[in-house]
């Protein structure tokens, strides 16, 4: 489903290279964990996948279902089925959460040539998805993410993911700032979306999240490259011994 | 006599003087009014229209910007305008003449023209001196308007909608609105016209007596070739509460002056302005607010969206008198600039002579937040739609403060239409 080939990318503003020859393949149905120390390029990778223009790809390619997405803007990528759950979801005053959800769902449907949702259908879908994430309708009346706690923001991201039903989910440090109860709710939300035709990339610093979202593959990112790939036992190994050994070994 | 090197009159100034000569015999008013009108024109003739050298007009050089003035066109065709909210009682002026006069329990209404002929107390053609172009032009040429009083204690549920409509040419109207003690009222004050060249002025005298509560919404939707000069002179007595909301949505050259004096303890002014300024237009909001007694409160928030080659101005002057201790005044001017050729000038001025007050002002000029845009687009919202949502959010925050769902909806519909045309 996703094939990243020899990707090199830098910060557009100052030319600092962050991603240095990254290769990664994620198949449909797979949950891939990307782990790595601070500064290894984890969040940058998620932003580049989503199409943020603060980064420039200088070499290599990103293929999604066999086609390059490098020329697509973030909205086109999202409509094609890519979803990034942000590490730090934006607070946007003045945009009501419900309005945002409706516009997003309908814009994606429009881009795919589907009919817009009726208001009753939309409300029903939101209520269904929100309930299992313990999100109240009261919270959804507030401006988007404004005044939400850290946990509420992460749950709101998963709500969006459920409603938009993407094909490729990228979760950027979704566990950061969550207590164990919130972590379980979020993980249940992600797990409920696991399916043979959907792939998920879980970017995390800690192994903890992977106890709840059990990955099929684990990739270690260091200095902008995948330096080691394994199964879920690799995550435990990292937890037990730290990143240093594996990174040194790869070097 | 002043000794000064006088500039030759511009085409616009000459036209104003000549048109007065042709029109003055048909303008309403008793002998005092006629004298006053004549003095107003004399002031324009002697001083000319204000230039950037006049501090209050520094960012709106009227002499340069007002290149010509059309003649009054009494037979211009004026389109009807639906009420902003269905429930409103309408008072309509077309081309400066009363066309519809609603009737509401608790309100007495009459014509300004009759009042000027009959020497009614409290109704006069005051101005603010030699450089008050808006007041002077209006005093010289005003044809009619409404004199409205909300009677003591009247709680009027349905909004009153004042409409001043034109079909091009010159239109000068003046409304005198008094809210007697304890009365409660919402006024929607609309200014609109077609796209013929126009010069419109409107002066509103608004008096809030003790404990009066007023929500006043001015919606300026003048035509694409219209100059609109508006002036509100407001006084607030003890315990009076006023929410004054001004939306500037169109017009070629717009200036809205607000002179407000907070005269009674416990009075509260909430001043909000939304300016949507696009194309090759100019929009100026100039506020002069006096806190003249102790224990009064005001907040001023101005949100402007400027695009194309448009220029926006906000001048916010707050004067706190020596005796006005415990004044609390908070002013903010936030601007979203959407194009490289657009500009905005903002000038806060606080003159504080009391020593125990809380007064603050802030101004920001920003572009659309890049991070917000990315977040929305990452959810599949196209760039155009995402930008529209963010621009609307910027002004909707202010609109949604209005505690009236119908009104909020009506204003947001207009904002959407503007975004569709300019976003």
Q: What is the pLDDT of residues B343-363, one digit of tens each?
A: 999 999 999 999 999 999 999
Q: Which of A89, A90, A164 sits opposite B380 (nearest CB)?
A: A164
Nearest to A93 among B381, B383, B397 (CB): B397
- What confidence score (pLDDT) does residue B5 get? 56
Which burial class, exposed, middle or buried, applies to A249 when counting CB atoms under 10 A from its CB (0-12, 13-18, 19+)?
exposed
Contact flag A73-B380 (C-beta cutoff 8 Å) = no
Q: What is the per-residue pLDDT across A32-59, written as a single tens digit (0 to 9) for each?
A: 999 988 889 999 999 999 999 999 999 9
- Structural element, H or E, at residue A164: helix A150-164
A72 touches chain B (CB under 8 A): no
Closest CB from A53, A75, A143 relative to B382:
A75
Write out chain A residues lying below 8 Å of B371, CB-based. 90
Q: How confident is the model at residue B413, as a pLDDT?
A: 94
A241 interfaces chain B, CB cutoff of 8 Å = no
Give the mutation candidate from A104, A171, A172 for the B interface (greatest B CB count, under 10 A): A104
Over residues B62-83, the pLDDT tens digits come to 999 998 899 988 888 998 999 9
User: Chain B interface residues facing chain A, Cβ-Cβ under 8 Å?
Assistant: 371-372, 374-383, 385-386, 389-390, 392-397, 400
Task: Find chain A residues with C-beta within 8 A of B401's C-beta.
Answer: none
B390 and A92 within 8 Å at the Cβ level: the answer is: yes
Would you say the C-alpha torsion B52, B55, B60, B65 has a positive or negative sign? negative
What is the model's pLDDT at position B420?
86
Which chain B residues contact residue A169 at CB under 8 A?
none
Q: CA of A105: which chain B residue's CA is closest?
A: B380
* Predicted confidence (pLDDT) per residue in B237-265, tens digit: 999 999 999 999 999 999 999 999 999 99
- Which residue of B301, B369, B371, B378 is the best one to mutate when testing the A interface, meaning the one whose CB has the most A CBs within 10 A? B378
SS3 state of residue A86: coil
Burial label, B204 (beta-carbon count in 10 A; 0-12, 13-18, 19+): buried
Q: What is the pLDDT of residues B198-216, one digit of tens each?
A: 999 999 999 999 999 999 9
Residue B102 CA to residue B124 CA, distance in Å, equals 23
Q: Does A50 touch chain B (CB under 8 A)?
A: yes
- Mean pLDDT in order along chain A per 10 residues (251 residues): 95 93 95 91 94 95 95 96 94 92 93 91 94 89 91 92 94 88 89 93 90 94 92 88 80 64
Question: Which among B23, B25, B162, B168 is positioned nearest to B95, based on CA atoms?
Answer: B168
Q: How far apart are CA B318 and CA B158, in angstroms?
A: 33
Q: CA-to-CA distance for B384 and A75, rounded, in angstroms?
A: 10
CB spacing of B379 vs A100 below 8 angstroms:
yes
Report the residue of chain A nearest B396, measured CA to CA: A94
Q: Assess whether pLDDT exceeds 70 at residue B4.
A: no
Contact B378, A50 (CB under 8 A): yes
Contact B383 A75 (CB under 8 A): yes
Instruction: With a cut of 80, say whether residue B129 has pLDDT above it.
Output: yes
Report the domain count for chain A.
Answer: 1
Q: Apex CA B76: angle with CA B71 and CA B81, to 5°?
A: 125
At A175 the pLDDT is 86
What contacts B283, CB < 8 A, 6 or more positions away? B248, B251, B254, B255, B275, B277, B304, B310, B311, B312, B313
Distance from CA of A169 to the nearest CA of B (A): 12
Task: Tell me how close the Cα of B387 comes to any Cα of chain A, in angstroms.
Answer: 12
- Whether the per-residue pLDDT at B323 is higher than 60: the answer is yes
Mean pLDDT value across chain B: 94
Strands in B343-352's sheet, in edge-to-edge order, are B107-111, B146-150, B169-179, B198-208, B226-236, B253-262, B282-291, B311-320, B343-352
Nearest by CB to residue B379, choosing from A52, A78, A143, is A78
A34: nearest Cα among A249, A212, A209: A209
Q: How far is A244 from chain B (nearest CA, A)?
A: 33
Q: Is A137 on the interface with B (CB under 8 A)?
A: no
Sign of CA dihedral B19, B25, B26, B29: positive
Q: At what angle do helices A97-111 and A119-132 cross, to 10 degrees?
A: 110
Both structure tokens of A30: 């797979």
Q: What is the CATH number of the domain that holds A73?
A: 3.40.50.300
A147–chain B nearest CA distance, Å: 15
| B371 to A75: CB separation less than 8 angstroms, yes or no | no
Residue B380: closest C-alpha in chain A: A75
A94·B396 Cβ contact <8 A: yes
pLDDT at position A251: 64
Closest A-chain CA to B391:
A94
Whether A224 has its CB under 8 Å from any CB of chain B: the answer is no
What are the pLDDT digits (tens) for B81-110?
999 999 999 999 999 999 999 999 999 999
Nearest to A94 among B382, B383, B394 (CB): B394
Q: Which of B380, B390, B396 sits opposite A104 (nearest CB)?
A: B380
Domain that holds residue A182: 2-250
**CA A34, A35, A36, A38: dihedral to nearest 10 degrees?**
100
pTM of the model: 0.88
For residue A203, give how far its alpha carbon lies from the nearest alpha carbon of chain B (Å): 17
Instruction: Judge: B389–A95 Cβ closer than 8 Å, yes or no.
Output: yes
The model's pLDDT over A194-222, given as tens digits with 9 standing for 90+, comes to 999 999 999 998 888 999 999 999 999 99
Which residues have CB under 8 Å from A155's CB, separation 6+?
A133, A134, A135, A182, A185, A186, A189
Q: What is the distance between the alpha carbons of residues A133 and A119, in angstroms, rounded to a whole number?
A: 21
Inter-chain residue contact A78 with B382, CB threshold 8 Å: no
A11 has a chain B CB within 8 A of its CB: no
Helix (H/G/I), strand (E/B), else coil: B290: strand
**Distance between CA atoms of residues B331 and B339, nearest Å:** 25
Which tokens hold the place of B274? Answer: 């939304």
Identify all chain A residues contacting B395, using CB atoms and an 8 Å cutoff: 94
Q: Which of A53, A103, A143 is facing B385, going by the closest CB pair?
A: A103
Contact A74 B392 (CB under 8 A): no
């Amino acid at each position: 489903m996703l094939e990243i080939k020899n990707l090199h990318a830098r910060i557009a503003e100052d030319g600092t290279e962050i991603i240095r020859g990254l290769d990664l393949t994620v198949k449909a149905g797979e949950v891939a964990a990307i782990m790595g120390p601070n500064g290894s390029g984890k969040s940058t990778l998620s932003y580049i996948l989503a199409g943020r223009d603060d980064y420039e790809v200088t070499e290599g390619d990103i293929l999604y279902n066999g086609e390059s997405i490098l020329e697509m803007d973030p909205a086109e990528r999202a409509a094609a089925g890519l979803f990034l759950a942000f590490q730090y979801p934006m607070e946007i005053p003045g945009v009501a959460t419900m309005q945002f959800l409706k516009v997003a769902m309908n814009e994606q449907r429009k881009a795919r040539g589907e009919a817009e949702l009726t208001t009753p259908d939309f409300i029903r879908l939101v209520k269904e998805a929100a309930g299992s994430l313990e999100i109240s309708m009261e919270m959804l009346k507030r401006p988007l993410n404004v005044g939400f706690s850290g946990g509420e923001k992460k749950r709101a991201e998963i709500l969006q993911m459920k409603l938009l039903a993407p094909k490729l989910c990228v979760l950027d440090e979704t566990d950061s700032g969550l207590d164990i109860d919130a972590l379980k709710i979020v993980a249940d939300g992600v797990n409920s979306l696991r399916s043979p035709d959907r792939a998920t990339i879980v970017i995390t610093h800690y192994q903890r999240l992977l106890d709840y979202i059990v990955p099929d593959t684990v990739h270690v990112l260091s200095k902008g490259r995948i330096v080691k790939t394994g199964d879920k036992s690799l995550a435990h190994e990292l937890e037990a011994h730290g990143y240093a050994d594996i990174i040194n070994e790869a070097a | 006599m002043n000794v000064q090197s006088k500039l030759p009159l511009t085409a616009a100034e000459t036209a104003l003087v000549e048109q007065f000569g042709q029109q003055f015999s048909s303008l309403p008013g008793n002998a005092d009014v006629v004298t006053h009108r004549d003095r107003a024109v004399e002031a324009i003739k002697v001083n000319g229209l204000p230039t950037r050298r006049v501090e209050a007009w520094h960012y709106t050089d009227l002499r340069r910007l007002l290149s010509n003035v059309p003649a009054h066109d009494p037979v211009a065709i004026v389109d009807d305008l639906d009420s902003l909210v269905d429930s409103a009682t309408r008072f309509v002026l077309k081309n400066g003449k009363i066309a519809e006069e609603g009737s509401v329990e608790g309100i007495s209404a009459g014509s300004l023209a009759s009042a000027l002929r009959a020497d009614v107390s409290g109704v006069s053609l005051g101005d603010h001196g030699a450089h008050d172009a808006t007041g002077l032009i209006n005093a010289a040429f005003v044809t009619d308007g409404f004199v409205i009083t909300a009677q003591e204690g009247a709680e009027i549920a349905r909004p009153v909608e004042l409409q001043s409509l034109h079909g091009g040419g010159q239109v000068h109207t003046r409304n005198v609105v008094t809210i007697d003690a304890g009365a409660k009222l919402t006024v929607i004050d609309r200014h609109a016209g077609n796209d013929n060249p126009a010069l419109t002025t409107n002066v509103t005298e608004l008096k809030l007596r003790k404990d009066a509560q007023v929500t006043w919404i001015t919606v300026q939707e003048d035509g694409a070739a219209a100059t609109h000069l508006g002036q509100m002179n407001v006084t607030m007595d003890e315990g009076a509460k006023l929410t004054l909301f001004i939306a500037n949505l169109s017009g070629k050259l717009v200036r809205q002056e607000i002179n407000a004096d907070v005269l009674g303890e416990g009075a509260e002014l909430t001043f909000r302005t939304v300016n949507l300024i696009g194309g090759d237009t100019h929009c100026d909001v100039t506020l002069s607010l006096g806190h003249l007694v102790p224990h009064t409160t005001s907040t001023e928030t101005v949100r402007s969206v400027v695009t194309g080659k448009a220029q926006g101005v906000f001048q916010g002057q707050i004067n706190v008198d020596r005796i006005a201790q415990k004044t609390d005044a908070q002013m903010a001017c936030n601007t979203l600039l959407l194009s490289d050729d657009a500009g905005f000038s903002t000038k806060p001025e606080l003159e504080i002579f009391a020593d125990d007050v809380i007064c603050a002002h802030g101004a920001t000029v920003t572009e659309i937040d890049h991070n917000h845009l990315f977040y929305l687009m990452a959810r599949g919202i196209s760039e155009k739609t995402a930008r529209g949502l963010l621009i609307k959010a910027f002004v909707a925050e202010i609109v949604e403060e209005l505690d009236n769902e119908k009104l909020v909806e009506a204003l947001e519909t207009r904002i959407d239409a503007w975004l569709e045309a300019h976003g």
